[in-house]
């Protein structure tokens, strides 16, 4: 019996569940333009998991990184949901990320 | 130093399973005449993956099966949640599916319009319809 997969699967589900929360809050306070930084941070976590010898540490870092990468692709849909009135819209101006003008020219990923 | 690939395996299992579920649940729910059948199949698949995760001695395979299985179990629940989104008009109804045609006839909020299929900042509430054959189905 190998309980590792079952346990890490449960934890993955919880981390993905947190994604629902931070995507909604993140879009509300920061906006869709921050997506390249969230995607980059997620990929950085996955990359750094290669250098973690601990089984649990490496697996958790990979899952958190993948969940952040997925969430970055959800921000566009979330901003549409807010525009459509399905979620509250933040009337305050959103902080602009570095290189905001360049990011505006990119197509936000949406899988 | 030796690289530990377990994190990358866990990351790929997480990202690809979420992606597959995200796209798959929508596509299957839109086409399936019932939701209980795909729910049961995906439930069984998720349980099978978890049993596989318990039985394998490989830590990488156990992680991949465990994560994918849990996401499949979540996807099984999502078929019902997706049907509710169709009823609310938050996901487009497929008029060729009899179950969805009934939803369109019963729920005034149901629509064939995919409201999310547009760029943010496009605030006009008149959607652009790509498929002219779907025009007659707009409510």
Q: For residue range B52-63, what is the model confidence (pLDDT) as tens digits? A: 999 999 999 999
B4 and A CB contact within 8 Å: yes
The band of B119, judged by pLDDT with boundaries at 50, 70 and 90, is low
pTM of the model: 0.89
CB of A105 within 8 Å of a chain B CB? The answer is: no
Please list, in sequence order, all residues whose beta carbon lies within 8 angstroms of the beta carbon of residue B100, skipping any fewer than 6 positions away: B30, B86, B93, B94, B110
A2:B64 CB<8 A: no
d(CA A32, CA A94): 10
Residues of chain A with pLDDT > 90: what percent?
A: 90
The Cα B121–Cα A49 span in angstroms is 37
Chain A nearest CA to B50, separation (Å): 6
Average pLDDT for B21-48: 97
Lowest mean pLDDT among A37-41, B1-5, B42-46, B125-129: B125-129
Nearest CA in chain A to B63: A5
Query: Quick check: A16 contacting B, CB < 8 Å?
Result: yes
Reported as a single tens digit per residue, the pLDDT across A98-111 is 999 999 998 888 88
CA dist A89 → A22, A26, A43, A100, B121 (Å): 15, 12, 29, 20, 12
Q: What mean pLDDT comes out for the span B60-67? A: 98
Contact of B84 with chain A, judged by CB distance below 8 Å, is answered with no
Integer Cα distance of B19 and A76 in angstroms: 15
Q: Does A33 touch chain B (CB under 8 A)?
A: no
Position B124 confidence tier, pLDDT thresholds 50, 70, 90: low
Q: Where do the domains of chain B lie?
A: 10-118+126-135
Quote the mean pLDDT of chain B: 89
Question: CB-based contact (8 Å) between A7 and chain B?
Answer: yes
Query: Count of CB contacts below 8 A, A vs B?
Result: 141
Please judge whether A83 and B4 are an interchain contact, meaning their C-beta atoms are less than 8 angstroms apart. no
Helix (H, G, I), strand (E, B) or coil at B95: coil
Q: Which of A1, A4, A5, A100 has the highest number of chain B CBs within 10 A, making it the mutation to test binding with B?
A: A5
């Amino acid at each position: 019996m190998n309980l590792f997969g079952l346990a890490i699967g449960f934890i993955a589900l919880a981390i993905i569940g947190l994604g629902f929360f931070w995507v909604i809050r993140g879009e509300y306070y920061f906006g869709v333009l921050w997506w390249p930084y969230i995607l980059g941070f997620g990929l950085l976590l996955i990359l750094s998991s290669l250098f973690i010898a601990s089984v649990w540490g490496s697996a958790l870092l990979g899952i958190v990184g993948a969940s952040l990468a997925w969430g970055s692709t959800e921000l566009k849909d979330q901003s549409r949901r807010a525009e459509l009135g399905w979620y509250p819209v933040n009337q305050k101006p959103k902080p602009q990320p570095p290189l905001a003008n360049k990011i505006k020219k990119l197509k936000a990923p949406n899988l | 130093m030796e690289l530990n690939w377990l994190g990358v395996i866990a990351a790929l299992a997480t990202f690809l399973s979420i992606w597959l579920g995200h796209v798959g649940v929508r596509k299957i729910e839109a086409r399936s005449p019932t939701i209980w059948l795909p729910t049961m199949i995906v439930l069984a698949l998720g349980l099978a993956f978890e049993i596989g995760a318990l039985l394998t001695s490989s830590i990488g395979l156990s992680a991949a099966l465990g994560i994918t299985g849990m996401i499949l179990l979540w996807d099984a629940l999502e078929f019902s949640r997706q049907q509710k989104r169709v009823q609310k008009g938050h996901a487009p109804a497929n008029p060729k599916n009899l179950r969805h045609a009934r939803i369109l006839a019963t729920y005034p909020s149901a629509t064939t319009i995919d409201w999310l299929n547009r760029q943010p900042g496009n605030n006009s509430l008149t959607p652009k319809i790509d498929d002219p054959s779907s025009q007659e189905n707009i409510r």
